[in-house]
Structure 1
Amino acid sequence: MPDRFALVTALRGAGWHPAAWRAPDSGAERLRSLRHWRDVIVEQDRLGVDAVTVEDSFTAGPLGDDGDLDVTTVVGGLDALLVTAAVAPATRQIGLVPTVSVTHTEPFHVATSVQTLDHLSSGRAGWRLQVSPTAREAALFGRRTFPTTTSAPDGETAAALFAEAREVAEVVSRLWDSWDDDAIIRDVRTGRFIDRDRIHNAEFRGEFVSVHGASIVPRSPQGRPPVFVLAHRADAASLAVDVADVVLVTPGFDGREAPDLVTEIRHLEETDPSRTSRPVIADLAVLIEQSRALAEDELAALDEAAGRPYALGSGSDAAVLATTVPELVARIGSLRDAGIAGVRLRPLRTPRDSTAIARQLVPALVTAGLRADVSSRPVADLRSRLGIAPAVSRHARTPEVRA
């Protein structure tokens, strides 16, 4: 259905191109300000984008060839979860999806922080689950060591990271379910604020994580905010099918195209009949101009400034498109025909390309019949907006059937 075709914008600093900060209109001097993030996200919200994801990492920036920070790109950033919480009151409909790593973060803190965001946004929070694979990140915490300083862990390390991620996701889900929807009773007559029988401990003991007790945050508006996982490799795809509500894929990466990726996800889903089909959303990195020639010139200028091309397999795990709005609409239409349920667009330049997505692409998709006009619809929670079924608590009581 056109109204279920999701449009998500992925925000990262001055943009996804490493040289985007050098443009005169990049606003790079404002990247550490609330105003920058509020202005960009409010525009996405006002013009009908379904959700924004905000990137985050335990590294201050990408590494150069010498193994140290690459000082030619944006170094340093703000906490994605805190940014989305700060922006939430200024927005009305858009989903707010911070990236939060599970590798060095306690699942209790993940669960309660995302729950808090869901309350503050009245049911518009999501969580992009990410692992942190490098020795450089591990050294910040000092509790464990990894054998590599790069972003590509060896097989044994990767297997352990994804196994740990499964456990953390399970614990977070249990904590989100630990309060019943009606646990807060506010019974003035008896003086009871809560019914303790409606709060349940999240009992879990695994190889990596052990948790006893309940969340300190009451059940949030969505119950369980939707979990996003980027399935850009086989082990990540397996994790996504196990724990995610939304699967992000990268057509073209490793030679796999959209139909193959959808087939792969559906095949993995068949191994567990209890898991329902979830939206598969394609990632594309975009630079948008009025003509293809101008877009290609702009990308070439950025590549020259960076001293290297930014392309699929060269700095990017997603296809990089120097394109126009009509061409992008056609590309999105072909993805939908391949079974893709939406796109997550990575603007190479923020706010220039994020503005083009909101002001030009959204109405063009409506005109092309690829998407319904959602700007005037009643506010819905993020699960509903993405076409994901409501979250039913594992502790939900079965209604009594009266004769």
Structure 2
Amino acid sequence: MTTSPVHHAVLILEVDGAGAHPAAWRLDPAGPANVLQTNHTAQSVLAAESAGFHAVSFQDSRLAPEHGPEARLDAIQRAAYLGPLTHSIGLLPVTDAIYTEPFHLATQLSALDSVSAGRGGWIVSGTGNPVEGAAVGRDAVASEDLRAEIADVVEVGRRLWDSWEDDAVIKDVDTGRYLDRAKVHYVNFTGQRFSIKGPAISQRPIAGQLPIFAPEQLAEGHDAVLFGAPDLDALLAAAHEGAGSGRRFAEVEFLLDAAGESAAARLETLNCWDNTEPAHARFVGSAEDFTEFLRTLLPLVSGVRLHPAVLSIDAAEFAALVLPELRKSQLLAPITTGNTLREVLGLPVATNQFAAL
């Protein structure tokens, strides 16, 4: 099949820790003690914003990493910290939908959207790992129940975000009323494992509904799908197959030649410390070749979530050498300060499901 080029693709940069490769912390100039410091993340995100990335994501898990610095920082808290420090870049925490209380999760994400002026979003995760459940005193969720459980959590989040209409806050001094209570709604949700009466404890998010990304195997009630493949050829094949079927974002890990060292040599060094198989299709090579690969991929998808193997090296090389060429090719969505993440993604205005009741 033939596909017309998409000239509004979105680039998301993953900025967790030192990079996607499990040994990346060994090459980070900040050192292992500092890669999880908030100022380290802030520097990476501000550099990404200046370079012209559309959004950044923050990987998260309740499990301590098997390698490198044995700690995690909550993804929503990191994103919220960066909300007031940034101006145009979207902020996408990767957050568990299985072992997090749905009401609290919706509230935290709504707060993120507020402090970022509508630039918040949510990448849904949910492995049902029993060790993660034990960390918060929850029973394991059977694999066959994961999809339905995540769909319930997403549905509750959407209902809670709509439980206040946009004009529910009236601040009527004469009558002493802060709210028009007719415009604040109970969500009255009952699922298989939990129920929520509602309403939310704060007003509707600035964007109305935060954009929700979900992995392909968990996708339901989402705005965009994240898909991957074991290698680059398979990724292109999956992109061709899904072209034109909604908003789809490809996941790619990459290593670029830098400072006179080939990407292959650096990967060999990293693999000497840890030779774990990559979680995503991996590109290894020059900035020029990666640019050509993305020129082929981007017209087939809504965007790419980029996982730099070593954040301090590969993201900088991409920003300096690849991103400007993609801009010249007119393949990327424009960057405009003041836009919500929904607007950047080309999503329609979020209507309130309760407003017409």
Taking structure 1 as the reference length, the TM-score comes to 0.82
Query: Which of 209, 225, 244 is the matching residue for 1:224?
Result: 209
Amino acid at match of 1:127: W
Say which SS state the counterpart of residue 284 (structure 2) adopts.
strand
Report the equivalent of 1:37.
Answer: 41
Say which SS state the counterpart of residue 84 (structure 2) adopts.
helix
Task: Give how far 1:290 is off.
Answer: 4.4
Report the equivalent of 1:53.
Answer: 57
Write the distance in 2 (CA, Å) between the matches of 1:385 and 1:134: 33
Amino acid at match of 2:285: T
Contact map agreement 1:60 1:77 (CA 8 A) in 2: yes
Say which SS state the counterpart of residue 155 (structure 2) adopts.
helix
Query: Which of 344, 351, 354 is the matching residue for 1:392?
Result: 351
Task: Give how far 1:90 is off.
Answer: 0.9
Amino acid at match of 1:132: T
Say which SS state the counterpart of residue 353 (structure 2) adopts.
coil
Write the distance in 2 (CA, Å) between the matches of 1:278 and 1:110: 26
Write the distance in 2 (CA, Å) between the matches of 1:189 and 1:357: 57
Write the distance in 1 (CA, Å) between the matches of 2:157 and 2:231: 30
Write the distance in 1 (CA, Å) between the matches of 2:256 and 2:243: 30
Report the equivalent of 1:250.
Answer: 228
Write the distance in 2 (CA, Å) between the matches of 1:286 and 1:392: 38
Task: Give how far 1:3 is off.
Answer: 4.8
Unaligned runs of 5+ in 1: 62-69, 147-156, 267-276, 399-403
Write the distance in 1 (CA, Å) between the matches of 2:351 and 2:231: 35
Write the distance in 1 (CA, Å) between the matches of 2:190 and 2:28: 53
1:75/1:262 Cα in 2 relative to 1: closer, same or farther (>3 Å)?
farther
What does the per-residue CA deviation read over 1:104-156, in whole Å, with 9 as the maximum and x for residues that have no partner? 1111011000000000000000011110322211211223146xxxxxxxxxx
Report the equivalent of 1:93.
Answer: 88
1:258/1:389 Cα in 2 relative to 1: closer, same or farther (>3 Å)?
farther
Report the equivalent of 1:65.
Answer: none
Matched, 1:205 2:190: yes
Return 180-189 or 132-141, whichever deviates more. Answer: 132-141
Task: Give how far 1:214 is off.
Answer: 0.5
Say which SS state the counterpart of residue 318 (structure 2) adopts.
helix
Report the equivalent of 1:5.
Answer: 9
Matched, 1:288 2:256: yes
Which structure 1 residue ranges, 4+ long, deviate > 3 Å from structure 2?
251-266, 290-293
Say which SS state the counterpart of residue 345 (structure 1) adopts.
strand
Write the distance in 1 (CA, Å) between the matches of 2:193 and 2:170: 36
Task: Give how far 1:158 is off.
Answer: 1.7
Task: Give how far 1:278 is off.
Answer: 3.4
Query: Which of 110, 114, 121 is the matching residue for 1:119?
Result: 114
Amino acid at match of 2:19: G
Say which SS state the counterpart of residue 81 (structure 1) adopts.
helix
Amino acid at match of 1:195: D
Task: Give how far 1:260 is off.
Answer: 3.5
Task: Give how far 1:172 is off.
Answer: 0.7
Identity of aligned residues (%): 31
Write the distance in 2 (CA, Å) between the matches of 1:278 and 1:189: 49
Say which SS state the counterpart of residue 30 (structure 1) adopts.
coil
What does the per-residue CA deviation read over 1:44-87, in whole Å, with 9 as the maximum and x for residues that have no partner? 112210001100001011xxxxxxxx3x4332111111011111
User: Aligned ranges for residues 1-400 of structure 1 at < 5 Å?
Assistant: 3-23=7-27, 25-61=29-65, 70=66, 72-145=67-140, 157-231=142-216, 236=217, 239-240=218-219, 242-252=220-230, 256-260=234-238, 263=241, 278-290=246-258, 294-306=262-274, 308=275, 310=276, 314=277, 316-337=278-299, 339-371=300-332, 374-375=334-335, 377-397=336-356
Unaligned runs of 5+ in 2: none
Write the distance in 2 (CA, Å) between the matches of 1:118 and 1:223: 9
Contact map agreement 1:168 1:209 (CA 8 A) in 2: no
Contact map agreement 1:26 1:352 (CA 8 A) in 2: no
Write the distance in 1 (CA, Å) between the matches of 2:260 and 2:234: 25
Write the distance in 2 (CA, Å) between the matches of 1:390 and 1:258: 31
Aligned-residue CA RMSD (Å): 2.3
Write the distance in 1 (CA, Å) between the matches of 2:140 and 2:304: 36
Write the distance in 2 (CA, Å) between the matches of 1:250 and 1:36: 28
1:326/1:292 Cα in 2 relative to 1: closer, same or farther (>3 Å)?
farther
Return 134-143 or 203-212, whichever deviates more. Answer: 134-143
Contact map agreement 1:100 1:128 (CA 8 A) in 2: yes
Task: Give how far 1:257 is off.
Answer: 3.7
Write the distance in 1 (CA, Å) between the matches of 2:231 and 2:196: 37
